[in-house]
Amino acid sequence: MSSHRRRRGLRGRSLPALSAAALLLAAVCAAAGIAWDPFTADARQGAASAPVIGTPWSAGPDPGAGSPSPGATGPTPTAPGGSSGGQDAGTTPGAGDAGAGRAAGALPFDLPGPAALRTGGAAKKLVFAHYFTPYPLSLDNASADADYYTRNYLNPAGENGKHERYGGLLRDRPLPVQPKGGNWERANLEQEVRTARAAGLDGFTLDMLSLSGPNRDRAQLLMEAAHAVDPGFKIMLMPDMTSLNTDDPGVLADAVAALGKAPAAHRLGDGRLVVSPFKAEAKSVAWWTQVIDLLRTRHGIRTAFVPTFLDSDANSARFAPISHGFSEWGSRSYVGQESATRDVQRAHGMGKIWMQPVSVQDARPNQGVYDEAGNTATLRSTWTHAIDDGADWVQLTTWNDYSEGSQFAPSLHNGYAYLDLSSYYLTKFKTGSWPKIVRDTLYVSARTQFAAADPTGAQSLVMSLRKGSAAPRDTVEVLSFLKAPATVRTVVGTAEDAHEAPAGIHSELLPLRPGTSSAAVVRDGKTGAEVKLPYAADGTVSVQDLQYYAVTSGRD
């Protein structure tokens, strides 16, 4: 398997398209009630440490290094709102906070509440999402038209041009949030916890990227935020062995213990702290045994060790004596997922649990590599394997790693589409029953450029297909969830069409054409649910962007 931390170039938008995206961002924020307050000076950038191959920072320093410290006040003091509606009752939405949670009627089914998803058999089937601390909802508490994401990460010339070679660091960003007063970083983290809880998640796996600095501070804030929002929402510690700069097992044991003593830290029913290091095979079994022993003797912490491998085939047998279970980072294309069945069977044959990776897509501009996700095919395939193969836990890879384009979290270009889709499969995974479709809902996904398009701008490093991925394709997918059979009317560019879709789930693929894509449900001559992907596909682009964009009819 390939490491999740390698990156090269990208393909993206023409400058006019970037301007259009900026206008759409402005419209989103205006609708959310965010005041435009141009941020006149870039946040300070800390000195770059030596880049680590396979980490996001092979292209530059920690993006959180220049953000204000927790507690800094923003330009527009507001209540730190942001919560879910509908199934996540008992909280009050925060005005102007996009991405705050679940709107009533957003899903094609009625999602069970947290209590139902955490009791009985559902309590044994846990679903986490991989939280990547460099990309919180806001890095500087500025208005979204001029915040750090807009100025420096989405802009190819950002951060003094150091990302220009691959067209800019990111292609997407979190949904904008309103600047806040007081401890705005913790308020935003609380909002992310609410959003995840409203989608049915049990917690986050926390990527422990560093032993000090902004990412470590944000990790601590996340532990506090999770417990404050919901004591039942748990944080599984995941030391990142591609970036933690220590060979001393005592140093790592101390770092794990410092976070592991927080009430939000995920523990088994017998009290053992779950530790799931990323790329655990970077250290020997003997080294990890020392870490586990030091946690017990120095800190009084018993450990349930669940290593996340890049290659479980080569490592699970060696690690079995010290492990409670296993996981793997996994493939990001819809082909080649058959190994998941073997991984689960092997783990269970050793008497271990298995945490299955579930993914949506992967496109890494600064590493020059991408996987062909096949619209939503990868999301549906990885979830289906987790369900059918009998995985014990699931890890969504990732919640918010925008430098990999792998985010499930609500984002500017995808809204809630991928997270909403995930909730459907999550319900089956946890309860054992497919939820009943009670309202027609359409999901449309497509790229905004053709896979073979060459960027015309200054970008010199472009993404190429990862070995083992499905072949590139240029398709629009209309994924329908229907309570009864209906006609689905589609428009792709200038091409109008229609197809008959059965009750339940149906995927229809259409050729990608220049222009926008839309779909509508027609039953008994009446138009029902309808949706339009607001981003047009273009045959000429200045920046490479091979992420699939998505939209759902379930949300405005």
pLDDT digit of tens for each residue in the chain (556 aa)? 334 443 223 233 333 344 444 444 544 443 333 332 222 233 222 222 222 222 232 223 333 333 333 233 332 222 222 333 333 333 333 333 444 444 668 999 999 999 999 999 999 999 999 999 999 999 999 999 999 999 999 999 999 999 999 999 999 999 999 999 999 999 999 999 999 999 999 999 999 999 999 999 999 999 999 999 999 999 999 999 999 989 999 999 999 999 999 999 999 999 999 999 999 999 999 999 999 999 999 999 999 999 999 999 999 999 999 999 999 999 999 998 888 899 999 999 999 999 999 999 999 999 999 999 999 999 999 999 999 999 999 999 999 999 999 999 999 999 999 999 999 999 999 999 999 999 999 999 999 999 999 999 999 999 999 999 999 999 999 999 999 999 999 999 999 999 999 999 999 999 999 999 999 999 999 999 999 999 999 999 999 999 999 999 999 8
In the numeric block, which tokens belong to residue 469?
């991925």
Scanning 262-376, the segments in alpha helix (DSSP H) are 285-299, 312-319, 339-349
Q: Confirm if 352 and 323 have CB atoms less than 8 A apart.
A: yes
Nearest to 199 by CA among 272, 129, 276: 129
- What pTM does this model have? 0.85
CA distance 151 to 156: 9
| Residue showing tokens 């996904």 | 445
Side chain identity at residue 528, one-letter code:
G
Q: Confirm if 492 and 509 have CB atoms less than 8 A apart.
A: no
Q: Confirm if 549 and 448 have CB atoms less than 8 A apart.
A: yes
In the numeric block, which tokens belong to residue 102?
């679940």
CA distance 109 to 12: 35
Nearest to 234 by CA among 199, 270, 262: 262
pLDDT of residue 94: 31
CB burial of 204-224 (b: ≥16 within 10 Å; e: otherwise) equals bbbbbbbbeebbbbbbebbbb
pLDDT of residue 45: 26
Counting every residue, how long is the chain?
A: 556
Distance of CA 315 to the CA centre of its chain: 26
- Assign 164 to helix, strand or coil: helix
DSSP 8-state symbol, 380:
H
pLDDT of residue 93: 30
pLDDT of residue 521: 98
DSSP 8-state symbol, 111:
P
Q: How many helices (H) and strands (E) does the chain have?
A: 12, 20
pLDDT of residue 224: 98
Q: Which residues contact 313 (CB under 8 A, 6 or more apart)?
A: 339
> What does the H/E/C string look like for 389-451?
CCCCEEEECCCCCCCCCCCCCCECCCECHHHHHHHHHHHHHHHCCCCCCCCCEEEEEECCECC
> What does the H/E/C string look like for 200-251?
CCCEEEEEECCCCCHHHHHHHHHHHHHHHHCCCCEEEEEEECCCCCCCCHHH
Sign of CA dihedral 533, 538, 539, 543: negative
Side chain identity at residue 75, one-letter code:
P
Q: Residue 331 burial by CB count (10 A; 0-12/13-18/19+): exposed, middle or buried?
A: buried
Nearest to 48 by CA among 57, 40, 56: 57
